[in-house]
């Protein structure tokens, strides 16, 4: 049976990984500046993460959400502590789309309203509501199309205020990435996030902080939205949460109340996923990875700004995008095929860096060297 052919694949079979390195089936080593799409937070196959999952496997891998699972409460306490969102509640699921789906549904239950404000170029996932608030018509199936979504320009405070003034009594939620990832690394400004907070307070709407990609310490704060100094009502999380073990969740402010049956899932919050997520937090705390993401991210951003051929550098911490001169549009392929470096991209010319938060300064320097060599090679070819 063939695989359903939806992914344009690099012709490389990755079979082994450790830290910020991966190896293919022929033993070739690669530097991973992509982190499997922002998923690898503490480093591939971190020994503490492996051991905690292994130990959990011997105890219990799964039971349904019909019984008390103490490890879920341990995880909730650990997230409360590391995020500083002390009185928030935790609902666990399995992926980023599912986290946003639940966040949007909860906002609608809570307010009794139907309309959602989302932003141009946003990406929130591929399930029905998550894809409806995603600004990419090519992945929205006819059945997912709805008039309930209002797309506004990012960072346009006047447009946000006008929309609330006209339809505020119908708006259930505003959903926004602290830094838009798939779009090509565009930051929501602090003033914009503060304006969203105020509008949601004034009109009784729910502020949903999609932190699936920009959260979990990647930007040097636990949530990218924290840089603006405001709290959201719901934070969605996934990617870095399990370091590759599938897990997602939403953090829910205390004023939003649960009702039996309102949300639910079979696999969400299973003990194995919780063990993986606890291991991630333990390593983040022990190795001070949020601080490292900031320091190493600042260093990398500054260094990228000095490189000729790079037009613009955007982002915070270890969520970085840089725009290449159009003559260097093959840089990502060249980095991968000639210099053994995985990076991400956003069309047409943005390279995205989403490495493990544990990447060393030596590996960052190695990346910078290979990037400069790749640029030189491409420049030689165009002469």
Task: By CB under 6 A, name the binding residues for ligand PLP.
Answer: 95-97, 100, 123-125, 177, 181-182, 210, 212-213, 238
Please report how close the Cβ of residue 352 comes to ligand PLP at its closest, in angstroms. 11
What percentage of the chain's residues is helix, strand, coil (to nearest 5)?
40, 20, 40
CB nearer to ligand PLP: pick between 95 and 102: 95
CB nearer to ligand PLP: pick between 177 and 187: 177
CB nearer to ligand PLP: pick between 328 and 346: 346
Beta partners for residue 323, in sequence order: 312, 350
What H or E segment, with its residue span, contains residue 196? helix 190-203
- The CA distance from 297 to 316, in Å, is 7
How distant is the alpha carbon of residue 76 from its chain centre?
19
Please report how close the Cβ of residue 242 comes to ligand PLP at its closest, in angstroms. 10
The CA–CA distances, whole Å, from 102 to 45, 130, 212, 372 equal: 30, 9, 13, 43
CB nearer to ligand PLP: pick between 237 and 374: 237
Please report how close the Cβ of residue 80 comes to ligand PLP at its closest, in angstroms. 22
CB nearer to ligand PLP: pick between 79 and 104: 104
Where b means 16+ CB within 10 Å and e means fewer, 175-202 reads bbbbbbbbbbbbbbeeebbebbbbbbee
Please report how close the Cβ of residue 175 comes to ligand PLP at its closest, in angstroms. 9
* Residue with the CB atom nearest ligand PLP in the bound state: 96
CB nearer to ligand PLP: pick between 346 and 374: 346
- The CA distance from 88 to 276, in Å, is 21
Please report how close the Cβ of residue 150 comes to ligand PLP at its closest, in angstroms. 19
Q: Is the dihedral of CA 179, 180, 185, 188 positive or negative?
A: negative
Please report how close the Cβ of residue 56 comes to ligand PLP at its closest, in angstroms. 22
Alpha helices in 249-360 (DSSP H): 271-286, 289-305, 331-339
């Amino acid at each position: 049976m063939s695989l359903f052919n939806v992914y344009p694949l690099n012709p490389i079979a990755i079979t082994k990984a450790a830290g910020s390195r991966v190896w293919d089936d022929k033993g070739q080593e690669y530097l991973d500046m992509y982190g499997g799409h922002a998923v690898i937070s503490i480093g591939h196959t971190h020994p503490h993460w492996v051991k905690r999952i292994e130990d959990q496997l011997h105890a219990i891998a799964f039971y349904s959400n019909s019984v008390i699972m103490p490890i879920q409460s341990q995880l909730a306490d650990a997230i409360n502590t590391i995020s500083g969102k002390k009185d928030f509640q935790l609902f666990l699921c399995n992926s980023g789309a599912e986290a946003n789906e639940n966040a949007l549904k909860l906002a609608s239950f809570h307010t009794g309203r139907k309309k959602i404000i989302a932003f141009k170029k946003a990406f929130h996932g591929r399930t029905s509501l998550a894809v409806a608030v995603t600004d990419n018509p090519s992945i929205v199936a006819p059945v997912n199309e709805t008039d309930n979504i209002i797309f506004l320009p990012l960072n346009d405070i006047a447009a946000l205020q006008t929309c609330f003034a006209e339809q505020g009594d119908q708006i259930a939620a505003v959903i926004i990435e602290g830094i838009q990832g798939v779009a090509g690394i565009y930051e929501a400004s602090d003033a914009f996030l503060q304006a969203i907070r105020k509008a949601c307070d004034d009109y009784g709407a729910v502020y949903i902080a999609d932190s699936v990609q920009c959260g979990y310490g990647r930007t040097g704060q636990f949530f990218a939205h924290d840089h603006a100094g405001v709290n959201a009502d719901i934070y969605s999380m996934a990617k870095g949460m399990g370091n590759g073990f599938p897990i997602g969740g939403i953090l829910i402010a205390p004023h939003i109340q649960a009702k039996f049956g309102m949300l639910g899932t079979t696999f969400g919050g299973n003990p194995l996923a919780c063990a993986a997520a606890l291991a991630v937090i333990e390593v983040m705390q022990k190795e001070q990875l949020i601080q490292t993401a900031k320091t190493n991210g600042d260093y990398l951003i500054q260094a990228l700004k000095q490189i000729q051929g790079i037009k613009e550098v955007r982002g915070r911490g270890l969520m970085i995008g840089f725009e290449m001169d159009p003559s260097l549009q093959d840089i990502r392929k060249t980095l991968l095929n000639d210099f053994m470096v995985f990076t991400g991209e956003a069309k047409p010319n943005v390279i995205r860096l989403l490495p493990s938060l544990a990447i060393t300064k030596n590996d960052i320097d190695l990346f910078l060297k290979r990037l400069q060599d790749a640029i030189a090679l491409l420049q030689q070819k165009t002469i």
